[in-house]
Chain A
Amino acid sequence: MTAPAKSDRRREGPAEQAVAAALARIRSIDGRVGAFTDVTAERALATALALDDGAVSGPLAGVAFGVKNLFDVAGLATRAGSKINRELAPAGRDAALVTRMEAAGAVLLGALNMGEYAYDFTGENVHDGPSRNPRDLTRMSGGSSGGSGAAVAAGLVDVALASDTNGSIRVPSALCGCFGLKPTYGRLTRARTFPFVQSLDHLGPIARSTRLLALAYDAMQGPDRDDPATTTRAPEPAAPSLDDGAGGLRIATLGGHFARGGEPDCFEAVARAAAFLGADRVVELPEAARARAAAYVITATEGAALHLDRLRARPDDFDPAVRDRMIAGATIPAPYVAKAQRFRRWFAEAAAHVFDEVDVLLAPATPCRAPRLGQTTFTLDGVTLPVRPNLGVFTQPISFIGLPVACAPVFLDDGLPLGVQIIAAPWREADALRVARALETAGVAQFREAKL
């Protein structure tokens, strides 16, 4: 299996026509969605001509993609959702993953909206306006890669590249109803993207099918000396085994922290996937709540350290919600941060023991369906909590130790979707994608393009 199926791409035929149609769709629809912050029309048409001339080809030939606006795109200022960074000089070269996507034949359509400096789970942005959920424009897209989830769900792109520090690929994938992949920490190069928390930052794709997810992921693998966290392991392509089915994999549902503190719907979505997969076993990932707390501390402090000079010089130019969290984070005493990084080692070892017994773990991606735009609190299990940090309650402990996760969209009814996290052992992305593909093939998980 080396090429996208016809259904994977929104458009067939000559690339020039397809790209022109995609650009027209962005012009007609995106004013209501708010997914794009920059449209690279000239570049897209030039790429399309090169494809039609045969000068460029590859496994992603003609696949339309966009990138969260923390990826460098030559000629654009990398705003990272902020007011401050859009004053920077335009990037001189593309992010490494943009280069790899285009080398495989994909066509870049532009840069996508995101929460300021990626410190967000809502998809709202005070400077650019919210990226809206294409399935209900009054609802959140999820963050911080809100524009990435919205662009895929709205059929504006086939694939969107995004980042995930605590859940920012998986939360918008779930709320917008897309497939997403957060690979193992260190798998994909982050070179020439704007960081948030380098200890925890991952990049990965969101897509309208598992096949596109696997093909994009495979095209982006490989070492890169420009990112010291990137693995020197040889690429391990996922596409060749994508259709192998879930047979032979030991699959369990996560209990404890991952089985409480959410609306019944989110657990029902997991139960549907588990029932199809015959996964009747429940296992515990010990101290998951503490892992979330440790990720919270590392994020608040390391993120604040990255932005300290900007917090001093221009605090009024930040999104207040980001600024206030970062100022608080900047003041946390260092011993707590050092302890969190040592606890992280302990928790990674504890998870490794769990993977002695199972190959794949299932958990909800978010505790609820997409909240309303502007909603600041929700009530889960009778407890009223702030929305912004708590949409990531189930994603944060997993990215904390860099485990690969495929997120599969589940529609329980005609309403908004939910996401199921399919979690594998480190470097076993292919297993997670096989399970996601099996759920997609069976119709348990599915992508539905939003009606706009």
Chain B
Amino acid sequence: MSEDADKLDAHLDAATALLELRVAPEWRGSILSHLDATMKAARFVSEFPLDDEVEPAPVFAPAAREDAL
């Protein structure tokens, strides 16, 4: 676990309470290690500078019946 251990611990409690997810004591260590790994990945992506105009990959297509194949 990283130096974020206390923050991750508090975050897990708050977020799972809000999401109404149960965390059994015996799952906690494993969930925290996955949270740590996923947050490291998330921050690595977040650090990358992108112009404000860069669009997200998914592009919405309106669904009209005449488009039906």
Complex Cα gap A329–B43 (Å): 14
Cα A219 to Cα B32 with chains together (Å): 45
Q: Quick one: CB contact mask for A302-341 with B, threshold 8 Å, 1 for yes?
A: 0000001001100100001001110111111101101111
* Contact (A343, B48) CB under 8 Å given A296-B38, A297-B42: yes
Q: Is the beta-carbon distance between B38 and A300 smaller than 8 angstroms?
A: yes
CA distance A331 to B57 in the complex (A): 22
Write out the residue numbers on chain A whose beta carbons fall within 8 Å of the beta carbon of B22. Answer: 312, 315
Asked if B19 and A308 make an inter-chain contact with CB atoms under 8 angstroms apart, the answer reads yes
- Residue tally, chain B, CB below 8 Å to A: 37
Question: A287 an interface residue at 8 Å Cβ cutoff?
Answer: yes
Nearest-Cβ distance from residue A279 to partner chain B, whole angstroms:
29
A320 and B27 CA atoms in complex are apart in Å by 8
Whether a CB of chain B sits under 8 angstroms from the CB of A216 is no
Q: List A contacts of B31 (CB < 8 A).
A: 324, 327-328
* Residues A336 and B19 in contact, CB atoms below 8 Å apart: no
Q: Which residues of B contact A93 (CB under 8 A)?
A: none
Asked whether B20 is an interface residue with its Cβ less than 8 Å from the other chain, the reply is yes
Rounded to whole angstroms, the CA-CA distance of A146 and B26 in the bound complex is 28
In angstroms, Cα B27 to Cα A106, docked, is 45
Q: Are B34 and A328 neighbours in the complex by a CB distance under 8 Å?
A: yes
Cross-chain contact of A287 among B40, B48, B68 (Cβ < 8 A): B48
**Interface residue from B19, B38, B55, B63 paired with A342 (Cβ < 8 Å):** B55
A326: nearest chain-B partner, CB-CB: B34
Most chain A beta-carbon neighbours within 10 Å: one of B22, B31, B45 = B45
Q: How large is the interface on A (under 10, 10 to 19, 20 to 34, 35 or more residues)?
A: 35 or more
Say yes or no: B50 contacts A339, CB within 8 Å: yes
B45 touches A339 (CB 8 A): yes
Interface of A (DSSP majority class): helix
The complex places the Cα of A346 from the Cα of B55 at a distance, in Å, of 8
Cα-based distance from A323 to B39 in the complex (angstroms): 17
B56 and A342 within 8 A (CB): yes
Does A199 contact B58, Cβ atoms closer than 8 Å?
yes
Per-residue CB proximity of B6-50 to A under 8 Å, as 1/0? 000001100110011111100100111011011111111110101
Kindly identify which residue among B21, B40, B46 contacts A311, using a CB–CB cutoff of 8 Å.
B21
Cross-chain contact B69 with A336 (CB below 8 angstroms): no
From 240 to 279 in chain A, residues with beta carbon under 8 angstroms from any chain B beta carbon are none
Asked if B34 and A290 make an inter-chain contact with CB atoms under 8 angstroms apart, the answer reads: no
* Given known A-B contacts A297-B42, A345-B55, A225 and B69 have beta carbons under 8 A apart: yes
Once the chains are docked, how many angstroms separate the CA of A289 from the CA of B45? 9
Rounded to whole angstroms, the CA-CA distance of A336 and B40 in the bound complex is 11
B interface footprint on A390-426 (CB within 8 Å = 1, 0 otherwise):
0000000000010000000000000000000000000
Q: A284 near B: Cβ within 8 Å?
A: no
Give the contacting residue for B30; candidates A324, A338, A344; CB below 8 A.
A324
Which residues of chain B come closer than 8 Å to A239, judged between CB atoms?
none
In the complex the two chains form, what is the Cα distance from A213 to B2 in whole Å? Answer: 45
Q: Chain A residues with Cβ under 8 A from B54's Cβ?
A: 342, 345-346
A331 touches B16 (CB 8 A): yes
Choose one: B20, B24, B45; the contact of A294 (CB below 8 Å).
B45
How many Å lie between the Cα of A294 and that of B57 in the bound state? 12
Max count, chain B CB within 10 A of own CB: residue among A331, A335, A336? A331
Query: For residue A49, which residues in chain B have a CB less than 8 angstroms away from its CB?
Result: none
- Tell me the A residues contacting B by CB distance below 8 Å: 199, 223-225, 228, 232, 287, 289-290, 293-294, 296-297, 300, 308, 311-312, 315, 320, 323-325, 327-333, 335-336, 338-346, 348, 389, 401
Interface residues of B (CB under 8 A from A): 11-12, 15-16, 19-24, 27, 30-32, 34-35, 37-46, 48, 50, 54-58, 61, 63, 68-69
Beyond contacts A312-B19, A324-B30, A329-B38: 8 other A-B pairs, Cβ-Cβ < 8 A, are A224-B69, A290-B48, A294-B41, A331-B12, A339-B42, A340-B45, A342-B57, A401-B57
